[in-house]
Amino acid sequence: MKQLIFVAALLASIGASAAPLPCSIHPKMNIADAELPALAKVTRADAESTALKAVNVSSATVGSGELEAEGGCLIYNFDIQIPGKKSIIEVGTVQG
């Protein structure tokens, strides 16, 4: 199973957009959120673990996360919080 991981540091008031990402799972436009998990090749738990490893800070935790269709790809996005830091780190794993 392949996953492409991207990490973007985000300040509370600043958003970031990622460049187009390669993927092999292309959900149909307007697909219901409830249908997305059936398309994923990786469980949410495994994706969270991979995201935390990418940050490489033992005290980091997943603040929130979701599986979504973004830019034509199926992506798990997680907001990673590090104690003592005001910013969050957004980590995404592209399925496929």
Mean pLDDT of all residues in the chain? 80
pLDDT for the residue numbered 16: 45
pLDDT for the residue numbered 21: 64
Q: Measure the CA–CA gap between 70 and 77, rounded to whole angstroms.
A: 10
- Whether 10 has a pLDDT exceeding 50, the answer reads no
Q: Considering Cα of 48, then 61, then 22, then 30, what sign does the dihedral take?
A: positive
Contact 59, 83 (CB under 8 A): yes
pLDDT for the residue numbered 7: 53
The model carries a pTM of: 0.75
pLDDT tens digit string along 29-68? 889 999 999 999 989 999 999 999 988 899 999 999 999 9
